[in-house]
Structure 1
Amino acid sequence: MASCAVEGGCVTDYVAIVISILSMIMLLSRLILPFLVHEVPRTKNSGFWIPVIQVFASFNLLLSIAMSINFLKFKKRLWWQSCYVWAVWFEGPLGFGLLLSCRVTQAFQLYYIFVKRRLPPISSYIFLPAILSPWIAGAALIHMKKPLNYRCHLRSHWVIPVTCLHTLYVAALVGFTGAIRHIEFRFDEVRDLWRGIVISACSIVFWVAAYVLNEIHDDISWLQVASRFLLLTTSSILVLAFFSISSSQPLLSQISLRKREPQEFETMGRALGIPDSGLLLQREPAQVMDPNEPLDKLLLDKKFRQSFTAFADSCLAGESVHFYDEVHERRKISVDDPVRRIYMARHIIDKYIVAGAAMEVNISHRSRQGILTTTDLAHPDLFNNALNELMQLMKMNLAKDYWSSMYFMKFKEEASISSNGNDLEQVTGWNFSPRLSSVHGADDPFHQENFSTGSGIDSHDPDIQ
């Protein structure tokens, strides 16, 4: 016992390493499965890279513990085996600090979007490094002072400030979560955050206890073996709790990863429970449309809108029509339900408004900034200016070509059959492009990018009814 306590290689050490390896396998599977099972496209925003950073930080934390406190028998002769590389940098700023910072960033975004009802004023690209900076400063100070002994243990008077830094970030996460506890979230984000906090707090209590015992009582062999086993095991539980119970992808909590269950929600509107969202009612009669009618009036008919959308998709120009459809869906949400309106607004912004979005619409800079810098994401007129601009574009381009297309001929034929008394059970002829008509699991209202500040909504034109 005394030998392996100093040199490493105890049975409990190998058991703890196996547990940590299994934890990393589970983490990677939870990160990758949504992209394999549901073919969710990889995005460039924080909804994708924050979970990736969490997995990276989790790997660093577990590996740093295994490398720094003698789990394996090897001599620390090379520079990359140094205590200051693993016990200071990888375990601190690149491990526990980065892991907690990612979760604080997500809670910060939730707070601004649902409590302040606006996009966070600080980009996650800036906020995350900013709150990580105390860890970097602390690691640099320890590296300069060189307080570690040959077993990578700190002197007793260094243990208290290091422990306080760990506790401070847990308190920040609890504080942001407490500030949004009154919001009635659609996807139980706060409940998931609290679960993660409770499990993580319990893990951290054991983790800190094991850390302190391992650092201070390095003269007691059995305590060294037991404390480092507890340290790595609780760290494995901690990283699983922080990632598995995640608020970063709310639609994935509604869409099962099991293949035997179909994807229940094809649009954000249906996921939010908007009445008749995305559905074509069987009793809805088809009508022959007059090309002389205003396009905004024609689009109110769901069957016409479905035909017109299919035509626009075939021309690879369906972004404007899909944008109209989702804004129209948002108007069905009562003004007394700001949470669902914010969900829908955040989804529309991420999908159509932000620069580089998958279906970015062609609107003026003024309208785009009016949306991105709004002070009320639940405002009923949030998308009016953009919608009016796109309606003009559709009238000048798509509408003229549609009336001479096969899509209109087919729509007119089906409308004529329906008007003659033949009940069409359902319209199955439209071929929507999956690229343009599906909502993916990564469409969440929490991530945000770097938007410039400015005024809010430019005007309050009447919305399309």
Structure 2
Amino acid sequence: MGSCAVDGGCPSDYVAVAISSVSMILLLTRFLLPFLIHKVPHVKGSGFWLPAIQVLASFNLLVSIVVSLKVLKFERRHWWQSCYVWGAWIEGPLGFGLLVSCRIAQAYQLYYIFVKRRLPPIRTFVFLPLILLPWIAAATLIHTRRPLNFRCHMKTLWIIPVVCLHALYVLPLVGYTAAIRHIEFRFHEVKDLWWGILVAAASVAIWVAACILNEIHEDIAWLQVISRFVLLTMTSVFVLIFFSISSSQPLLSQISLRKREPQENVTMGRALGIPDSGLLLERGPNPLVDPNDPLDKLLENKRFRQSFMAFADSCLAGENVHFYEEVHELGKIPLDDSIKRIYMTRYIIQKYIVAGAPMEVNISHRTRQEILCTTDLTHPNLFEDAVHELLQLMTMNLAKDYWSSTFFMKFKEEISMRQDGQELEHLTGQNFSPRPSSVEISDDPFRPEHSLKKPSFDSHDP
């Protein structure tokens, strides 16, 4: 044991490396599963990049411990194997510091969005380096003063400040979490943040003991082996649990990974429990569609909106109609339910408004900046100007082509068939006679199920 305690490669070291490998595989699976299996749409911005950076930071932290503590037996022949590269930079600013800083950035965003009710004034790509400045300063000081020996161990005088720096990064996380503890989050973000703080604090406490034993008692072989094993194993468990807590996931990933949420609830509207009915009443006579009516009035007809959306998708301009429908869903949330309105507003901004969004809409720069710089995310007229601009754009372009398209022909044919009373089966499965006199007025004229052949909206039609 004496030889492997110094050079690495003890049986317990290989077990610890195996545990670390399994934890990284599980972590990557946790990160990619929503996008590969549940088909969660890729969201640009901090909602995607913060979890991705956490994966990178977790990998850096694990590999830095393996290399700097010589868990595996190898010779240091190149400059990039230096203790200062792995022990000072990779393990510090690019490992633990970056991992916890990502969680601080998430808590900072939650504080501004749900307490201040506005988007954070400092962008994430600026806020993250600011949080890392103490780590960068500490790594620079260690690299300059060179307190590490050939085994990457430092003296007691240096261990205490380094350990305190680890603990110091838990304090901002506690502060932001305490500031948002009164918010009734839909996806239990506060609970998950407290769990993250508990895991981080427990890990730091164990690291303190393991580091002190590993750094100071270099002459005790069995203590070196055990402390190395505990340090690497605990780090593996820490990075997996820390990432798996849902606030480290994109919001849509949370929805798809929650077992208590049905798998079909992959949209924000359904996840928030917004009623599926719109301005169009579900029961009543078939409303007539007049091409001379304003487009906003026509889009109140849910059946027409679905047909028009299918046509817009076929023209590669569906984001305008989708945006209109999402804003329409937002209008169903009561004004006094500020939390749900903030969730829906933030979702719409990330999906349609920010530059490079998955379905970015074509609105003026002035309108876009007014939305992004708003001081009240719950304002009922926040998207009013954007909707007005897009309605004008759709009226001048899509609407004119829609009236001569096969989509409108199929829509008109379907309405005519339903008005003639030829629908034979209700959505609830009730059977009716094919006679027109047996169709009641209270039956839903827009239910899609009937025994006759239903016109389909083919997205490949011109």
Task: Normalising by structure 2, report the TM-score.
Answer: 0.88
Q: Tell me the residue number matched to 1:292.
A: 292
Q: Matched residues in 1 for 2:147 and 2:396: separation?
A: 72
Q: Distance in 2 between matches of 1:56 and 1:217?
A: 32
Q: How many Å apart are 1:266 and its aligned residue?
A: 4.3
Q: 1:433 to 1:357 in 2, by over 3 A?
A: farther
Partner amino acid for 1:253?
Q
Other-structure match for 1:301: 301
Deviation of 1:43 after TM superposition, in Å, equals 4.0
The aligned counterpart of 2:273 is 273
Q: CA deviation at 1:429?
A: 4.3
Provide the C-alpha distance between the structure 2 equivalents of 1:414 and 1:195, rounded to a whole number of angstroms.
54
Per the TM alignment, residue 251 of structure 1 is displaced from its structure 2 partner at its CA by 2.6
Residues 274 and 333, structure 2, Cα contact 8 Å, conserved in 1: yes
Alpha-carbon contact 1:269-1:277 (below 8 Å) kept: no
Cα deviation per residue 1:254-309 (whole Å; 9 max; x = unaligned)? 32499xx9831242211111011689987464332111222211111111111111
Assess, with a 3 A threshold, how the Cα gap between structure 1 residues 143 and 410 changes in structure 2: closer, same or farther: same
Cα distance change, pair 349–203 in 1 and its aligned pair in 2 (3 A): same
For residues 122 and 432 of structure 1, the distance between their equivalents in structure 2, rounded to whole angstroms, comes to 45
- In structure 1, the gaps of 5 or more residues are 435-465
TM-score (norm 1): 0.88
Question: Closer, same or farther in 2 for the Cα pair 1:432/1:255, shift >3 Å?
Answer: farther
Q: Is the 8 A contact 1:203 1:237 kept in 2?
A: no
* 2:205 aligned residue: 205
Q: Structure 2: how far apart are the matches of 1:432 and 1:379?
A: 38
**Cα distance change on mapping 1:302 and 1:364 into 2, 3 Å:** same
Q: In the alignment, is the contact (CA less than 8 A) between 2:256 and 2:266 conserved in 1?
A: no
Q: Which residue of 1 aligns with 2:100?
A: 100
Distance (Å, rounded) in 1 between the aligned partners of 2:375 and 2:363:
20
Amino acid at match of 1:392: Q
| SS of corresponding position for 2:116 | coil
Deviation at 1:213, TM superposition (A): 1.8
Cα distance in 2 for partners of 1:26, 1:433 equals 38
Aligned equivalents of 1:307 and 1:73: distance in 2? 66
Equivalenced residue count is 432
Describe the superposition over 1:114-151 as per-residue Cα deviations: whole angstroms up to 9, x where unpaired.
11111111111111111112111110110000111121
C-alpha separation in 2, matches of 1:71 and 1:184: 45
Deviates more, 1:109-118 or 1:191-200: 191-200
Native 8 Å contact 2:167 2:201 kept in 1: no
The amino acid that maps onto 1:14 is Y
Find the aligned partners of 2:455 and 2:113 in 1 and give their Cα distance.
40
- Whether contact under 8 Å (1:115, 1:180) holds in the other structure is yes
Which amino acid is 1:300 matched to?
E
The structural deviation recorded for 1:41 is 4.4
Residue matched to 2:366: 366
With over 3 angstroms needed to count, the CA separation of the structure-2 counterparts of 1:120 and 1:338, relative to structure 1, is: same
Residue number in structure 2 paired with 1:190:
190
Superposition deviation, residue 386 in structure 1: 0.8
**2:242 alignment partner AA:** F
Amino acid at match of 1:51: P
- Contact 2:246–2:254 at 8 Å: present in 1 too? no
CA RMSD of aligned residues (A): 2.2
Range moving further from structure 2, 331-340 or 279-288: 279-288
Change (3 A) 1:125 1:225: same
Cα 1:94–1:422, aligned 2, differ >3 Å: closer, same or farther?
same
Deviation at 1:365, TM superposition (A): 1.2
> In structure 2, how many angstroms separate the alpha carbons of the residues matched to 1:134 and 1:314?
52
Change (3 A) 1:238 1:414: same
Q: Distance in 2 between matches of 1:179 and 1:361?
A: 34
- The change in CA–CA distance for 1:285 and 1:306 in structure 2 (over 3 A counts) is farther
- Residue 11 of structure 1 corresponds to 11
Post-superposition shift, 1:313?
1.4
Matched, 1:151 2:151: yes
Q: Which residue of 1 aligns with 2:348?
A: 348
How far residue 228 of structure 1 moved from its aligned partner, in angstroms, is 1.2
Q: Which residue of 2 aligns with 1:83?
A: 83
| RCO higher in structure (CA 8 A, sep ≥6) | 1
Q: Corresponding residue for 1:130?
A: 130
Distance in structure 2 (CA, Å) of the matches to 1:104 and 1:432: 47
Residue 158 of structure 2 aligns to a residue whose secondary structure is helix
Partner of 1:251: 252
Q: Partners of 1:27 and 1:265 in 2: how far apart?
A: 24
Per the alignment, do residues 188 and 280 of structure 1 end up closer, same or farther by CA in structure 2, a change over 3 Å counting? farther
Contact preservation (8 Å) 2:44, 2:357 = no
Deviates more, 1:33-42 or 1:6-15: 33-42
- Aligned mates of 2:296, 2:279 — CA distance in 1: 20
State the SS of the aligned residue for 1:255. Answer: helix
Q: How far apart in 1 are the matches of 2:279 and 2:332?
A: 14
2:406 is equivalent to residue 399 of structure 1: no
Q: How does 1:298-447 map to 2 (within 5 A)?
A: 298-423=298-423, 425=426, 426-427=447-448, 429=455, 431=457
Could you report, residue by residue, the CA deviation over 1:328-355 in whole angstroms, capped at 9, with x for unpaired residues? 1100001111111011111111111111
Contact 1:287 1:416 (C-alpha < 8 Å) held by counterparts: no
The one-letter code of the counterpart of 2:250 is Q
Task: Say whether the 8 Å CA contact 1:9–1:73 is kept in structure 2.
Answer: yes
Counterpart position of 1:54? 54
Is contact 2:335–2:380 with CA below 8 Å preserved after alignment?
Answer: yes
Q: Which residue of 2 aligns with 1:448?
A: none
CA distance in 2, matches of 1:281, 1:406: 26
CA distance in 2, matches of 1:80, 1:404: 67
Assess if the C-alpha contact under 8 Å between 1:189 and 1:250 holds in 2: no
Aligned equivalents of 2:282 and 2:336: distance in 1? 30
Q: Which residue of 1 aligns with 2:263?
A: 263
Give the secondary-structure state (helix, strand or coil) at the position aligned to 1:254. Answer: helix
Q: Deviations over 1:43-66 (max 9, x none)?
A: 432222211111111111111111
Query: For residues 187 and 373 of structure 1, what CA distance do their matches in structure 2 show?
Result: 25
% identical aligned pairs: 66
